[in-house]
Structure 1
């Protein structure tokens, strides 16, 4: 990069900086804006000149030459700046401004489309690519005459203004004059005088412009161009008023709106200037000097914004007059939406209180003996009445170690959920605080010192932001929690809402008492039926007899050396044990009709692991819902299915001592039982079909699934999984 190219890029960077500097000194001032535009124009032309001088090819240089077509606009822009700085009235004449710029625009077009200004021949000189000036073209001389005329006019006007101005204004004009003189003189020398004298020298017009602008910028910085005037001070005061302010003329045409008003209305100034006042104050009557006296008139009305939204305001109106003649009207207003909102909130609160009292009266009249139905009714009513996203009821389990969700109503989906469980020991601070207080309210539940215990395990996964939790008491003991959970937004809980929630909690307590009494009565009746069932079952299923059969099979197995026969007897023994354990569970449980499958499955699988002790490297994962309790008609075939499939995995899925894992999962969904038995072992053959299997165990599984009217799915990807879905069989009375 040669020195002249460096000068061009330096001028470009300098003028970009100066343009930003001058603009942000006073961005609202038109003079500063015009000087900034000139800076950016010079920056662009300097960069084009740099690219031209550094072009790598003839064609590239030619393209950059054409890109410099904006240079004729510099001088009319300089003259515009001078006219504004000298406060010349010509600026108010739009025709003059049009005539000022048209010749320069024509020169730019001619340079771009013809070779009347510069020739189409590119020449490489010591300072880089350049194009010879077309001195034989009359258009060139006319262009130079026009540009020179504008430059001399600018200097002349600046000098005359400098002569008659005083003080700070004189200093400001001096720097403008000096800046212009530098640009004009250096440009004339390098762009006209030297070329006409056949002296080869690179043009430095843009560098000269950068130096001139540097002088102007110094004046701006040193003397704070432009000087402070009463008009500027008044504009600054009005622009900082927080209330909106509108000024109209005597024809009610808008002449001024302050920034606060423009922001409130969402208009740009040029969009609203000159519009009739009715555009923004549609309900405000026309005012004139007869209807307004010298005092300020205050009233409530509507302000209409750009989007057609009506904004309630308190409006003060006063006349602007001179010698009893109406010049205009000043409107100053305050946005009273917040005040109106408070008034509406008070009315709404009063209405809500009446509605909530009516809801509670209706609920007290409801039948509360059916606990499940009552909970669903209360959570749904509570959620809809208070407009809460989620309302749930949680109860402690009998051993007080767990707290379980009995019902959650989700407002936006209009549905209920159940089944979530938490350990009491994980939330000591929260539960202790709830016992000691009427309730717990948290606007930001995830950061609240008490409710944050639930943040990672419950609040964040469910996107819960705010909570209001009320304890549920029964006979002096806290037995549960009524939880209100907001997911849409952070929410403050009012005292009225807290009282309503406490009333719902009390109704849950009443329902529990009623349900407990009814349940006690039913248990008395059921116990008589259970005794009758027990007597019948003892006659048909005697555990001891099955134990004897199992023992006989074990003895027989110990006397046989044939491994195949020994395995068959062992499998039969396990099947008998699985049925025997059903009866054992039946006799030991409080409920003599239902089998607790959680305890039963754990015992059955552990027994199978002990039987196949060589597979100790296999990991076991048993997960059976506590609520899975089946009658004996369903339990025996289900137990045999588990026995066969777990035995099959232990024997065949993990050969050659490889490690693995077996999952036994049993869930209850509504009235359907889902049993899953999964291992990550060797898997079954790709063409495996349960209906066509030849093994006794899997044939037995298929038959047992049909016996309980179930459906079975087999998946052999990544091991083997059996998924069996069925419903509990109805008890068949025996004669």
Structure 2
């Protein structure tokens, strides 16, 4: 055995030792993967020594083949090691085991196909092996070797940069350097030193492999650093937020943490008195001595109770601290003190804040209790029905919540003052009012006086025995006086209103009674006049007129005799009217039976009057023409309500209509139209209708622009007035009668008139959409906006804008004028604007649906906007434009009905009110809440 064989065996043993050494400490995936690398290197190292000991060529080739298998598997094993190293504590993916497949395939190809055929010969006792080179297989081997080794090196380098722990990054860096140097050395040895003999190259490769594997083994077995007590102590002292100072036995500073150094500005070697407040130095000195003396009687460190002292900064600021003093001992000997101080500045600020919060909560609880009591007081006072009930409530509440036993209420109403209470008033009212002055509560001669004041008017006062000086009691008395004054004023107004209504009802009954008497006088005069006339037709006409007058007279009689002056019982009225007609027209001996089928409904005067006239006409015709021979029969009157409408039926069982009756003989409007002419001249009539509509639209638009109306208003007015009015029928019929027009012209005129009248409802329904399109089109601003807008007379800021000066708008303007709230009213009707300006209201001409108009009246700075326009599309457009200019402004809209409420809210309205009787009150409440005012709107 030569030196090379000996060194090969020694390398084999060293490879096994290096590979198994990491397994002694830990047997993880990393250690086992490293062990597999060492096994492959060991097989490669021992193969020359075994081959030299063999004599058969076949055996030598087999050992050489085993060595080649180890070398071929080495790149795959190295890549597996790199994968395990970079994976860390995570489990390897099963796909990682696939990296061993390519080398196995390559080995199978080499062994099975004999692509590499070695030539073996013995030279000087050493086997010489020559390889028959195969270029394709060599290229495949080189790709595999460089690819796997390169991938492994890359994984190790990446882990060296991205590992979460410094220890792992350090180990990975060293493994990267060791393995890289070993691979580079092996590549240089095999590529650039071909002149050396095979055994020398093999030995040099073993040395390089041993060096690299040993370095990797050292890193694999390197344990992570552990925390030592000294390291932990230093870290805790530096990181703790408390002020930590270590003193030697003489009281000099030996160690100080960052927080204490930053706050106190002290350094090692300074005395503890340097950072301790002068007035607290004696306290700390006593405590240090006490700790030192007490340690002699106990084992271990002695921890004293906390000490409250002040530290001092270099600038003289005192830092209150909670100090914990401990004695540091080494065995039985004391070596120093530890001072751990907690900064109390934030704690004290927090305690002060807690105290303030508790005081605030106490005040809030008292205020809440006060509000609860106040709410109960105001509720009880506001529910009073009469002044006497109000006075009793005041006395009860004063005794319940203020402990005042009884009292008096004095009201000076006109000439006779009202005094409520037990006994006479103990003080002179005039003196009490003089002492009270403008105060809400005053103390007068041992009594407590609370004013009853409504606005600037003093209604009277409440007088209680005793003197209340508590602020809480005074506030309750002020609230009681204010609410009692408002309630008393409301009761006075209510009493006046009831009295006024009773008086008006009495007057209205008298009016109906006088109207009924006057109508009866008229009926009597007609009856008297008919007795002097011989012409039967005139007598019949006077009798018909008398019947009509009597039907109206009976209505007024029903009104003043009923308890309700606004609604009349229809059933009783119709029955009385029909019986009255029967008495007038029934012939002697004639028997007419009356049948009534009338729903139980009540109607107002505006509806019952035309209904009575229609019943009078129909029933009169039945009595006059249904029974011409004076025969018996029956007359039926029926009134039914269907879907909000009434159906009136008057029927009889008389002779009926004559046989020669024809609708063509009637002279009604529909019968005047010649259908043949209409159908034969339909195209001409349609063109005439279009011409009439265009001419009227043009004339109406021209007049509207001359008067200064905006484009939207001009379109609405023009479409509404585009028809030919009903009065034109009278003119056309008169023209036909007197020969001013022929029949054809009359029929054409009549056809055009009827068509325009039929189209008018559709034009009215389409007018909002058409006006909206005109507004959005590109027309001249003068045409779109109308006349030039007047500049406001006051500075506009946080003001109210009222769009539409109808009934609601006028009432809101009056309220704002009365309460001093800045407002601007806008309307498109110049006449309405002029009348409002004459009454002193701040109203201007302008169309509030245009953004330019809204900007002109400074909507971006407005606080509230009320849209009170009857046109729903214009209301939506005005809200949309105003919201675009001012997102924070409160917008209130008034509409008719509730079907479009959600659309208005979507457009940007904050509050929507239906057009009911209480609409103005609800809108005014919203407005005055924005300005902090209280609105008292008279009914």
Q: Is the pair's TM-score, using the shorter chain for normalization, greater than 0.5? A: no
Q: Report which of the two has the higher share of helix.
A: 2
**Structure showing greater relative contact order (alpha-carbon pairs closer than 8 Å, 6 or more residues apart):** 1
Structure number with greater Rg is: 2
TM-score by length of 1: 0.28
TM-score by length of 2: 0.23
